[in-house]
């Protein structure tokens, strides 16, 4: 499918209580644990994994390069947008509890931001840490927070709700489950270790307390870093290379397309350096798809399955020749091919940064897999990014016969938190 994509804070990932690990009982601080990775002289293979090491029982287990990866919580943008795609993730939506308003929401975002900062740095939570990830590194953990349309009415902040957060239009191919769509608050958790990701999920759920209740949760995965000899564009569950034409930060207009500018803009000031995320649970009808011969699958997508190259020739990154025909005068990239329809130059320049996860939630009673894509895309304006592309796909995409959009959400994701601050502070205290 053509639609896609440090800083250490000392502390102990233990119980967080006096006498717990890192407090003189023979445990190890997070700093000591991270330091061991360099002290042991791990031998790394071509894929970046640890070939082997030995450690005496009294020493902390050294971290591999995978576990030692670290992202910053504070910054211009929230983490989890420009970060490389993670091996596993959780997408979660909450609704504010009855009676909870602006004050409670501010306290919750303050708690969540502090917990995210600590966990991303490899520390334990401030209290009642579950110890799930006490012997793991940060594993490139990121936590991202966003606000849904309903959040503003519940907090009395309707006047500060961005116009860009207006509900998405209906699409004819949608089969949306309202219970698994939208929400007041959205959280994205990504990590390269499943236990680290779950640890963050559990901590944030506990932090919600009485202020918010879980609305829905979705779990996803991608290829693990180092699983291939060199970095490759990921494949989705249809076996197609997914993300070839993702916009790149090196492009001159990248920030303009993906992030809300500081000024001038139609967006409120608190959204400066933020972005809008569209989340779609797209079920892939894999039994039907896998019955197609490879040549027909390639015609649906418009790219070779083996290497992602356009059917017009070349390699994965070769520009697609939309007008090229074969000896019989037939377009080599079919007129309804997904890759053709989704191109920015076929949609008024519309572009999104796609950072999805695959998912598999078991099987239906008749044995049909409930699997597909947790589509996550970022843009400065969804009415100029996601909406025009999806409208065009909705009208004639050959892939539509093999996918089903089952859940949807749109969230405003403010810029990163300043040192000592929390995500959304400009909205909730402005």
Catalytic residues: 242
- The first and second tokens of residue 262, run together, are 């500081």
Residue 120 neighbours by CB under 8 Å, 6+ apart: 70, 71, 72, 73, 79, 138, 141, 142, 143
CA separation for the pair 46, 85 (Å, rounded):
20
Say if residues 184 and 212 touch (Cβ distance below 8 Å): yes
Say if residues 177 and 145 touch (Cβ distance below 8 Å): no
Ramachandran angles phi, psi of 234, nearest 5°? -70, 160
- The first and second tokens of residue 408, run together, are 């949807």
Ramachandran angles phi, psi of 159, nearest 5°? -65, -15
Residue 369 burial (10 A CB sphere; 0-12, 13-18, 19+)? middle
Q: Residue 238 gets which letter from DSSP? A: T
Contacts 24+ apart (CB under 8 A), 49-57: 49/226
**Helix or strand (DSSP H, E) at 143:** strand 142-147
Say if residues 36 and 60 touch (Cβ distance below 8 Å): yes
**Do β-strands 353-354 and 369-379 pair in parallel, antiparallel, or remain unpaired?**
antiparallel
């Amino acid at each position: 499918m053509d639609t896609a994509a440090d800083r250490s804070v000392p502390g102990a990932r233990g119980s967080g209580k006096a006498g717990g690990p890192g407090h003189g009982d023979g445990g190890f601080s997070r700093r000591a644990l991270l330091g061991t990775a360099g002290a042991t002289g791990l031998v790394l293979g071509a894929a970046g994994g640890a070939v082997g090491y030995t450690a005496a029982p009294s020493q902390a287990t050294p971290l591999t390069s995978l576990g030692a990866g670290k992202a910053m919580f504070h910054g211009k943008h929230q983490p989890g947008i420009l970060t490389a795609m993670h091996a596993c993730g959780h997408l979660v939506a909450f609704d504010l509890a009855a009676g909870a308003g602006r004050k409670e929401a501010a306290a919750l975002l303050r708690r969540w931001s502090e917990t995210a900062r600590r966990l991303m740095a490899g520390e334990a939570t401030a209290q009642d840490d579950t110890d799930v990830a006490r012997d793991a590194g940060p594993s490139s953990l990121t936590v991202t927070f966003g606000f849904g349309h309903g959040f503003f009415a519940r907090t009395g902040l309707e006047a500060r709700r961005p116009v860009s957060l207006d509900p998405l239009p209906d699409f004819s191919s949608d089969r949306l489950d309202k219970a698994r769509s939208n929400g007041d608050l959205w959280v994205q958790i990504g990590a390269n270790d499943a236990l680290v990701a779950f640890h963050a999920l559990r901590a944030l759920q506990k932090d919600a307390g009485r202020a918010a209740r879980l609305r829905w949760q979705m779990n996803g995965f991608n290829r693990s870093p180092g699983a291939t000899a060199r970095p490759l564009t990921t494949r989705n569950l249809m076996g197609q290379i997914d993300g070839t034409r993702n916009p790149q930060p090196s492009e001159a207009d990248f920030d303009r397309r993906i992030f809300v500018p500081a000024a001038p803009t139609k967006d409120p000031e608190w959204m400066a350096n933020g972005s809008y995320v569209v989340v779609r649970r797209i079920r892939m009808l894999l039994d039907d798809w896998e019955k197609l011969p490879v040549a027909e699958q390639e015609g649906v997508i418009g790219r070779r399955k083996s290497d992602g190259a356009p059917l017009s020739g070349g390699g994965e990154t070769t520009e697609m020749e939309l007008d090229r025909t074969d000896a019989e005068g037939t377009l080599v990239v079919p007129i309804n091919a997904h890759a053709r329809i989704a191109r920015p130059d076929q949609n008024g320049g519309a572009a999104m940064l796609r950072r999805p996860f695959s998912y598999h939630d078991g099987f239906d009673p008749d044995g049909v897999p409930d699997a597909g894509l947790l589509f996550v895309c970022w843009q400065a304006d969804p009415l100029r990014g996601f909406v025009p592309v999806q409208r065009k796909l909705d009208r004639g995409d050959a892939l539509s016969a093999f996918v089903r959009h089952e859940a949807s959400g749109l969230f405003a994701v403010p810029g990163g938190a300043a040192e000592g601050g929390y995500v959304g502070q400009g909205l909730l205290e402005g």
